[in-house]
Amino acid sequence: MRVPTYTIFVNRWALVLMLHKESRLISQVKALCWTLYRLKTIQNNWGALGQYSSEKALADCLSLPYPSQIFDNLVSSEMRAHDLYTAEESDLIHKIKTFYVSIEDNTYSIFETKACNLHLKAIGSDCLIQMGRHGNEVECFCGRGTQEQLGDFLFLDIKEDLYCTPNIPFGMAAVINKDIISIKHSTLDLVYDSKWLSSFSESEPSEVDARIGYRLKKKAMEAYCQSDIDIFKRNKTVFLKEYRDLLVNHECGHYIIQQHMLYPSPAAFSEASKVLEAESDLTPFLELLADLAPQRQDISGPILQCVVSAQEGRSEWLLYLYMSDAWFYDQSHAFMQPYSDLIGCVILLLIQDPMLKETVFEKLVPSLISEINRELSLLIKEMKEDICVMGFFECKETGCEENVEEWVAFFEQIDEKSGLKVELNKKIKEIKKNLDMTVKKILNIQTDDLKSFILVKAKELELL
């Protein structure tokens, strides 16, 4: 049956309009990306990632070699195209803080990511966008793929990268923003090729931390495919699915901990505290708790999934796989090493003695949750006077102290050298020290620090 010419014309015109809306969205994300890049250059402040990792993440997203003249030429071109060489620092900051995207007659702030994606779906676009804040920085990336509502979450399955801000590590395959979880296939493929496939041809390094990282991969491959590269290649799809599921479970774990276990005010405070420093001393514990999150409906943190898999004989390789992914001592991300200490102690103990799962899930997790709730509630109570003097929270409206954005705004108002900021950081460090002691006590760790304990266990498990 022949399709009427009029119908063909209407369909083509609808497609043209949709592509125009997509192009506009992508250009807005692109402008944010280069504005943030320019600000980081002016301030010489590349955050915890550092300049090399930030620029490489951007180059990888754009499929450009780095370092290279091609990338440098693109930077110069974009700086001129967006008039960024002459822009004032204050103007750049304002543009970033007030960033939003427009689709048709609607505008969406970084806190309206879900509505923005649903709008894209409604116009027939396969574009996807993830927006949010990490500490005091705006983060954003967009790509193409599919979106699906599964339970409490909107899943964004990103199969093609388009643009991202330079503060998002390219190696970060999964990201959560409230009830939106994004998975980037480009990163999954990168990890498969550059980390796991290449591990079959690697030589064992002599440096201690690097050797542990090397042997973690070897142990995982022994348990997964008897260290047979052909078996590994044949099972790429299965491997990536299991790896992806662990990453998704970690993001689900954040949701469980932040939304259902921490009290609203401590949850908001702990998330926003990253504004005070590049990475808050509370961050490693939030990451650990996300890993150890208990079952809620049909989701849980990844370590519980690893332990449950013991019935299928897959627990050990999944634990080695996960610890390898969380071992940051053989990478450039030093700010993540305190997290490596925490999760490393737990995983190595579970590998040695699976029966310790009761201690981990029934004692350690509830104790840490209780302590964070108690300590941060007391800290917030002590801060009430300073908060009110600055015109925040209860002086504005009830419930503001349960809002991450309100805490971020408050922390940003504290002068870098003010006594309040110094005192806040001091108290957070005291809370961290107490939480470390709780971990050591419940897990019966006798060494002076967690890293020393990991080295002891690494020898016992032939990781050294």
Number of domains in the chain: 2
- The β-bridge relationship of strands 127-134 and 100-103 is unpaired
pLDDT at 3 over 60: no
Do 107 and 246 belong to one domain? Answer: no
**Amino acid identity of 384?**
K
User: What does the alpha-carbon distance between residue 322 and residue 324 come to, in Å, rounded to a whole number?
Assistant: 5
Q: Judge whether 91 lies within some domain.
A: yes
Do 170 and 282 belong to one domain? Answer: no
Do 169 and 217 belong to one domain? Answer: no
Report the candidate in 133, 83, 96, 98 with the shortest Cα–Cα distance to residue 113.
133
**Amino acid identity of 406?**
E
- The β-bridge relationship of strands 106-109 and 100-103 is antiparallel
pLDDT at 433 over 80: yes
Q: Judge whether 192 lies within some domain.
A: no
Where among 134, 154, 185 does a domain terminate? Answer: 185
3-state helix, strand, coil in the chain (%, to 5): 65, 10, 25
Do 303 and 438 belong to one domain? Answer: yes
Q: Judge whether 280 lies within some domain.
A: yes
Q: 398 falls in which pLDDT band (50, 70, 90)?
A: low
Q: What is the pLDDT of residue 366?
A: 97
Do 321 and 350 belong to one domain? Answer: yes
Lowest mean pLDDT among 20-29, 117-126, 426-435: 20-29
DSSP string, 378-438: HHHHHHHHHHHHTT-GGGT-TTGGG-HHHHHHHHHHS-TT-HHHHHHHHHHHHHHHHHHHH
* pLDDT tens-digit series, residues 246-282: 999 999 999 999 999 999 999 988 888 877 765 678 9
Element of type H or E holding 264: helix 264-272
CA angle 302, 307, 313 (to 5 degrees): 120
Percent of the chain with pLDDT strictly greater than 70: 89
Average pLDDT over every residue of 196-215: 94
pLDDT at 332 over 70: no
Q: Judge whether 194 lies within some domain.
A: no
Where among 156, 185, 214 does a domain terminate? Answer: 185
Do 212 and 181 belong to one domain? Answer: no
Bridge partners (DSSP) listed for residue 100: 109
Q: What is the pLDDT of residue 38?
A: 95
Do 252 and 386 belong to one domain? Answer: yes
User: What does the alpha-carbon distance between residue 30 and residue 34 come to, in Å, rounded to a whole number?
Assistant: 6
Half-sphere exposure of 231 (CA within 13 A, CB side): 8
Domain extent for 146: 5-185
DSSP string, 50-117: HHHHHHHHHHHHTT--SS-HHHHHHHHHHHHHTT-SS--HHHHHHHHHT-EEEETTEEEETT-HHHHH
Where among 123, 152, 185 does a domain terminate? Answer: 185
Q: Judge whether 196 lies within some domain.
A: no
Do 363 and 221 belong to one domain? Answer: yes
Do 127 and 266 belong to one domain? Answer: no
Do 417 and 392 belong to one domain? Answer: yes
Q: Judge whether 272 lies within some domain.
A: yes
Q: What is the pLDDT of residue 135?
A: 63
Do 252 and 363 belong to one domain? Answer: yes
Number of neighbouring beta carbons within 10 Å of residue 417 = 7
Q: 6 falls in which pLDDT band (50, 70, 90)?
A: very low
Whether 208 contacts 464, CB under 8 Å: yes
Can you say how many angstroms the Cα of residue 291 is from the centroid of all Cα atoms in its chain? 13
Bridge partners (DSSP) listed for residue 102: 107
Q: Judge whether 111 lies within some domain.
A: yes
Q: Judge whether 286 lies within some domain.
A: yes
Distance between terminal CA atoms of the chain?
Answer: 71
Do 150 and 207 belong to one domain? Answer: no
